[in-house]
Amino acid sequence: IVLTQSPGTLSLSPGERATLSCRASQSVRSEYLAWYQQKPGQAPRLLIYGASSRTTGIPDRFSGSGSGTDFTLTISRLEPEDFAVYYCQQYDSSITFGQGTRLEIK
């Protein structure tokens, strides 16, 4: 399953709302879709699993939604520490990652 993330780069200001998209080449069961955040020089960090469940310690400004082939990660009000690269991942059929969306400060 190929995951295509859009946009490739998203330029926003702190306080704004970010909407990141992840589209699958074939249907993915929602319980097998996750989102990760990666900052420079760091390992990725799990944000969302099961398409919409936040993992422990993740602020509620992060939310995930979607089903089938279209999934979305929303950050309701950007904080300075949210600017990073975000990856979606599916583990429904083997394991694949999207190519990432870079969220940068405008």
Partner 1 sequence: QVQLVESGGGVVQPGRSLRLSCEASGFTFSSYAMHWVRQAPGKGLEWVAVISYDGINKYYEDSAKGRFTISRDNSNNTVSLQMTSLRVEDTAIYYCVRMTTSATKIYGFDVWGQGTTVIVSS
On whether the CB atoms of residues 13 and 98 are closer than 8 A, the answer is: no
Cβ proximity to partner 1: between 77 and 98 the closer is: 98
95 binds partner 1 (CB under 8 A): yes
Q: Which of 36, 62, 71, 83 binds partner 1 (CB under 8 A)?
A: 36
- Sign of dihedral through CA atoms 51, 47, 81, 40? negative
63 binds partner 1 (CB under 8 A): no
93 binds partner 1 (CB under 8 A): no
On whether the CB atoms of residues 103 and 22 are closer than 8 A, the answer is: no
Nearest to 44 by CA among 94, 104, 6, 89: 89
Residues that bind partner 1 (CB under 8 A): 31-32, 34, 36, 38, 43-46, 48-50, 55, 87, 89, 91, 94-100
